[in-house]
Amino acid sequence: MNRRDFIQSLAWAGLFAQTGCSTISRALDGGMGTPSREGKSMAGFHAEPIPLLRVGFIGVGHRGPGHVRSLSRLPNVEIRAIGDLYEDRVNKQIKFLTDAKKPEPKGYFGSPDAWKAICERDDIDLIYICTPWLWHTPMAVYAMQCGKHVVMEVPAAVTVEQCWELVDTSEKTRRHCMMLENCCYGENEMLALSLCRKGVLGELVHGEAAYLHDLSHSKLNEESTGGYQGQWRLEWTKQHTGNPYPTHGLGPVAQYMNINRGDRFDYLTSISSDVFRMPQLGAAKYGENSPQAKYSYYRQGDMNTTIIRTYRGRTILVEHDTTSPAPYSRINTIKGTKGILSDYPLRVALLPNPHNWMDAKQLEELKQKYGHPLWQKNGNAAKAHGGHGGMDFLLNLRLCYCLQNGLPLDMDVYDAASWSSLVELTERSVLGGGKPVDIPDFTRGGWKTAEPLGIVNV
């Protein structure tokens, strides 16, 4: 296939049919319930140590190249294979590695199934997936079935059924399956986690999370002018509502609250605004009579607002807006019985002075006292190597360290499933007029005894 033929073959409905997914998967009250476990729980799972970690990359378009560079700087990590639909992308990453005096990986390109050959190699330990959303689950499942640990970009899945498929496959194969939620390694997010773990904020009550990022022009642009391959993000906007990208803000808050490790998501309610800005931009770019200028062309409202209630009675606000012209924010707020941390910009207020934010001096002293050791030890290197302010580097540093030393990963398959399940569940709630929707317990009760994520280091 040439590029155009392949892109055309990725029509949304066709890809869902190919991967066995429906746009909205089987309703929870329609017999799905909680499937019985055929494997073993992956909570706290220790795999055999892998002193020399051999990696195969699938997808080196938007996110893949940054991760290739990040992993190339880590000790005892070798990238053995790089695959992408486009030969020029593969060759560019191979050249980068050989120029850096790294072993030359084998390139895979051209065929839509070339990625399978990477998974089937017997000299690879970890499959690294950086493809468009709809490919994450089918590629991850195949990789685990081939005996590989797997990580994938966010979200890990786009339907509840896919979430269960990831969980079931990980449990059966005893392979790690982790979503690459880099925001869990942001400096302020890790400071907040440290404050929570050390009881500085008291008993946690409420969190606020978001992905507020104006991507409107990127969605409308073609790939040659900075858009997404085949305009896949625009295609989602045309066919879906709800929150399609919840995990950047939600992941850190879920870690603060020990979700899947002492608490779990119980249910959510979600509403979306109407469509406002995209037709205006579509008219400006394609003409007032173009399909892109019509309000009926889009389903995803400009703003989605979701409220989650946890089993332990906490609440989480999750917002999504990739259309409105506004500064970037993940909100990143966590409230407890002793105080609050709120981000963008970073502010903290604690008892006995909860009505006033700390001044700059007090905030710096707090950061020095409670800053996360992963950042305190490796922050300068992370910032020097880059990747979203250093969070990408720390994610990969910690990931590879855990695999090389046989340690449980900081995020497991249950996190990938529960955080990603909002993609479908918010849409279901929106289509039901904001009706509450239950969130499955992907741990099958394991959250009651699973150990919380501690203050980790390398």
Tens digit of pLDDT for each residue in 46-84?
Answer: 999 999 999 999 999 989 999 999 999 999 999 999 999
Domains, in order of start, for the chain? 13-23+46-180 (3.40.50.720), 186-372+412-448 (3.30.360.10)
Region 31-36: what's the mean pLDDT?
A: 67
Rounded to an integer, what distance in angstroms lies between the CA atom of residue 248 and that of residue 332? Answer: 10
- Asked whether the predicted pLDDT for residue 317 surpasses 80, the reply is yes
Instruction: Region of 257 please: left (phi>0), alpha (psi -120 to 50) or beta.
Output: alpha
In order of 178, 193, 262, 303, 414, the CA distances from 43 in angstroms are 12, 20, 12, 35, 8
The answer to whether the bond into 352 is cis (omega within 30° of 0) is: yes
Which of 68, 228, 275, 71 minimizes the C-alpha distance to 134?
228
Q: Give the span between the Cα atoms of 287 and 281, in whole angstroms.
A: 9
Please identify which residue in the block is written with the tokens 């509403």.
271
Residues forming a β-bridge with 342 = 347
Q: Positive or negative, the Cα torsion across 188, 191, 196, 197?
A: positive
Residue 177 and residue 169 in contact, taking contact as beta carbons nearer than 8 Å: yes
pLDDT (tens digit per residue) in 114-147: 999 999 999 999 999 999 999 999 999 999 999 9
**Are 132 and 62 a contacting pair, CB within 8 Å?**
no
Query: Distance between CA 420 and CA 140 in Å, rounded?
Result: 14
| CA separation, residue 31 to residues 26, 268, 438 (Å) | 8, 20, 14
pLDDT at 224: 80
Name, in order, each residue with C-beta under 8 angstroms of 321's C-beta and a sequence gap of 6 or more.
210, 211, 212, 213, 302, 303, 304
Q: Convert the pLDDT of each residue in 251-275 to its tens digit.
A: 999 999 999 999 999 999 999 999 9
Nearest 5 degrees, angle CA 51-CA 52-CA 58?
130
Pairing of strands 333-336, 339-342: antiparallel
Q: 103, 129, 102, 131: which is closest to 118 by C-alpha?
A: 129
Task: Tell me how far apart the alpha carbons of residues 12 and 239 are, in angstroms, rounded to a whole number.
Answer: 9
Among the ranges given (256-260, 308-312, 380-384, 432-436), the one the predictor scored with the smallest mean pLDDT: 380-384
pLDDT at 366 over 50: yes
Distance (Å) of CA 364 to CA 82, 319, 347, 359: 43, 29, 11, 9
Nearest to 140 by CA among 107, 170, 184, 171: 170
Per-residue pLDDT tens for 180-225?
999 999 999 999 999 999 999 999 999 999 999 999 999 999 888 8
Q: Please give the pLDDT value at position 10.
A: 40
Percentage of the residues of the chain whose pLDDT score is greater than 70? 93
d(CA 308, CA 156): 19
Quote the pLDDT of residue 33.
66
How far apart are the C-alpha atoms of 177 and 170, rounded to whole Å?
6
CA distances from 196 to 1, 50, 258, 400 (A): 52, 32, 10, 25
